[in-house]
A and B are shown apart, each in its own frame.
Chain A
Amino acid sequence: MKYIIPFISCFLVLMSCTKESEYSVPEETVYSPKTNAFRATRITGTNTHWGDFTLYLGYDKDQLNSITRTNAQGDTVGGFGMVQSTGAWSLFLNDYVPTIDQDSIVRLDNQLKEQYGAGNYSLADSIPQTSQTLQELSVYLYTDGRVKKSVVKQYVPNPNRYATGQDFKYAYILSTTTSSTYEYNSNSDVCVNRIMYDVHDPIDKDLYTRTLYKTEARYEANRIMSLSWFRAKGGDNFTEYNRYDYIYNGNHQLSGIQGDNFSRKFTYNGNQVIMTTDNTETITYELDTHGNVVKMNDGAGNSWQIEYERGNGNFSLFTLLTDRMLNPFFIK
């Protein structure tokens, strides 16, 4: 009996000091998604598809939530669609196209003229239209907001949109799907980009030819120094086939990108930058004091003027990452 109390005391000492394992959160890299200081709000210009146009961009927090396109007459001729879910969202850049052929439009015009008199009606407002997607962007995100994957589907207008009768077709045709999956380094720069590039059959979009690419970017500080290109053919792994070296001038500006069968030069003159690709294609950019592109002209019928406001936006995601890596003068 007299030993029971010491025994119980020792037992309590045993239990009280035993320490259970603590839950230890594994170490993970903390990323800081890159943000822009400015975002585009209006783009005015002309291109070979839209002719004269103005794009109005609206944002909710850092994300696009509206795009409206008007023509030279101020009519709304294009719009925007959005689907959002947890960790992913899709944006649709749409054209409004007529659902009747030219002959029917002429008949409608005559009918309205007869009914209301010339000049007393708007033919453009009377033509039935539908929305056709020109470009679809789907983005999948990490919880910290970095882009994990982006899928860009590019559509083209139907070649039979000017036909008449039974040959008339207005539905846009899926042309290409580019799916990019990103890997980041510790500086939150994309260091690996794996790309599935599908070219679709114009008649059956489920038939496509797929090409696989990978790029690996090497950085020094925050500057990209080289971009290695890999390709995987059928029955093969990724094999390097090209490497672009980035050249900077004394002002730390990108002055050239050089690879096999590819060369791009950037020439700076005040706030103007001329980008020459393969000594044939030339695009002229004009920058504001913050380095944003405010004018662009490619000399081939495409020219834009861009207005900005302070803040981060995601309009630049419509430009493929590889294109942004090869040309820092894109619209943010």
Chain B
Amino acid sequence: MKTQKIILFVLLVTGLLSSCYEDKSSLNYTLINPINIELGNASTDYSVFAYDTLEIKPIVYKEGVNDDNLAFRWTISGNYIPPTLLDTTMTLKARIDLQPQSIAYNLLYEVLDRTTGIVQEQTFKVKVETPFGPGLILSETEDDQTSDISLIRAYNFSSGFQKDQDTTMRNLFSLVNKRKICGVGTAILSTTYGVYGRYLTIGTKTSVDRIDPFDYSYIDGNGESFMIDPQNYHVSSLGFSSNAGCIETIVIGGKLYTHYYQTQAIHKFSYYLLTSDMTDYRVGLSTQPEWAYGLCFDEMNGRFLEINGTKYLRVMNSSKLEPNAAFDPNKLQNFTCRAMFSGKNNISHNILQEKDPATGQAKPNGKIYCYDTQQAYYYADPDLINGMPSKIIDLNEFPEIQDALFFTGTNNRDYIYYATPTKVYTIDLTMRTATADYVVPTTESTDEVITSMAVWLGNGMMNYTNNRGDMATTVSNNNMLVVTTYSPSLKEGFVRTLPISIYTGRIEQNKDYYGLFRGFGKITATTPQK
């Protein structure tokens, strides 16, 4: 009983003390203004070329708070990359060094109010596209020891480009792969753009590098590019045929290696081809026509060899020659090959010059000839005509032929073009005349010399003078020469495009129709990217 009284008393006192309790928990609060992120009418989805600069300009504020009390973070993530901080300012301006992907990256924008610790977020989607497309790829060197790759996308080289859209992107190899190419480019070649198994191969006297022309990322090089490491990476020639067997060829140390590029399984060059008669050989130059098996010149034995797909190098059968054949393709031991390219009417023009037997090099003032051989479709040549002789053209009467550095021609004209250090001549094979149709300009420097010359086989357009004297337009494929030059005094390399008249076969005389791209190092090799 007494206990009950005590308990009751305690309860009464507790109740008395806690009565009239005033709950003050909801008094005296202030509203916090939101952090505003204004985008205007801008979308939250962006598309940017890789290595291009992305700019996003929002206005961010919080009413009543000084802008200095706001902190910003732009972080990009997605596509398996770790979240990467791009910028810490209100507006974003950052170069996007990310791989092009089909799925957009996520860009997170965070705004921190330092006075409250509250963070406001805004998300964006950023699609990274490849900036590289069809155009002219060139290998250039600034120091004669290392090289880099540049891409020109222009009216002359790319479909759908107007002249005021010409774009040059330099040093793409080092931009993407963070290193230069070890050596001076001797040959460069790209397989068809956009197809699986695409490769851009760059050869020097000491290295082989293969990159993806889609984004210029490194694939492999040197021994890794071969099933059996050749140990020597002195590249003298690269070839590619998209039609005649889909074969890419590379000549290293005199041996010819092939890569069947359309397969998804194997992407390395196989062991070098053997000759059909199992004799040794040393290939210098090779050519890959559009629809015929390729041809190469065996410097060791003085003969033409057919590149029979990925199987072997076929030795021509001299016993099958016509009695009045112009020459025996197996008896050219006195010559070295200077150039090989396609001509009109399924002919291969092969420029041979007398060689010094001691050195194997062209003899000073050695006679120069064009040994024409026949081309036959790779899929229909039962009589093995491909590579058989057609005729010999004596080039020795043409001016400055001994000074010629480069030879080329188109497969739709009976013309050959040769370049000395300062001039380009046009040989009319029908009329047997040669004309100096282009002279390297001397207005800026007097030491500018030609460093390469090739017929353009890519996309793009060109202007020329029609038979009424007006400006006309046509595709530049097989109708334009790409001549690269270098001026040691200016330390500058140039790319010059020379349209070829579709009427006369001669180089266009109206200089307004020439293309000029400058600001390069010494350009040593070029290739179209289609």
Residues of A within 8 A of B (CB): 3, 6-7, 10-11, 13-24, 26-28, 177, 179, 181, 183, 192, 194, 196, 198, 210, 212, 214, 232-238
Contact = CB atoms under 8 A, between A and B. Distances in A.
Interface string B83-109: 000010111111000000000000000
B59 A237 contact: no
Contacts of A232: 57, 59, 89-91
7 contacts: A10-B11, A14-B15, A21-B27, A179-B40, A196-B57, A214-B67, A235-B92
Interface string B235-265: 0000000000000000000000000000000
B430 interface: no
A183 B67 CA distance: 13
Contact of B40 (A16, A23, A198): A198
Interface in B1-46: 4-5, 8, 11-12, 15-16, 18-31, 36, 38, 40-42
Nearest to B4: A3
A86 to B, nearest CB: 19
A196 B58 CA distance: 8
Interface residues of B, number: 42
A189 to B, nearest CB: 14
B377 to A, nearest CB: 48
A19 B27 contact: no
B55 to A, nearest CB: 4
A22 B93 contact: no
A3 B63 CA distance: 62
Contact of B59 (A7, A28, A196, A233): A196
B59 to A, nearest CB: 5
Main secondary structure on chain A at its contact with chain B?
A: mixed
Contacts of A13: 15-16, 19
B25 A21 contact: yes
Contacts of A7: 8, 11-12
A14 B55 contact: no
A158 B296 CA distance: 62
Nearest to A232: B91
Contacts of B64: 183
A7 B72 CA distance: 62
Nearest to A205: B41
A79 B92 CA distance: 41
B61 A183 contact: yes
Given A7-B11, A13-B15, A26-B30, A235 B61 contact: no
A23 B23 CA distance: 11
Contact of B93 (A26, A196, A234): A234
A212 B12 contact: no
Nearest to A23: B26
A196 B38 contact: yes
Given A6-B8, A17-B19, A24-B26, 10 more contacts: A14-B16, A18-B20, A18-B21, A19-B20, A21-B25, A22-B26, A22-B27, A181-B36, A183-B61, A196-B40
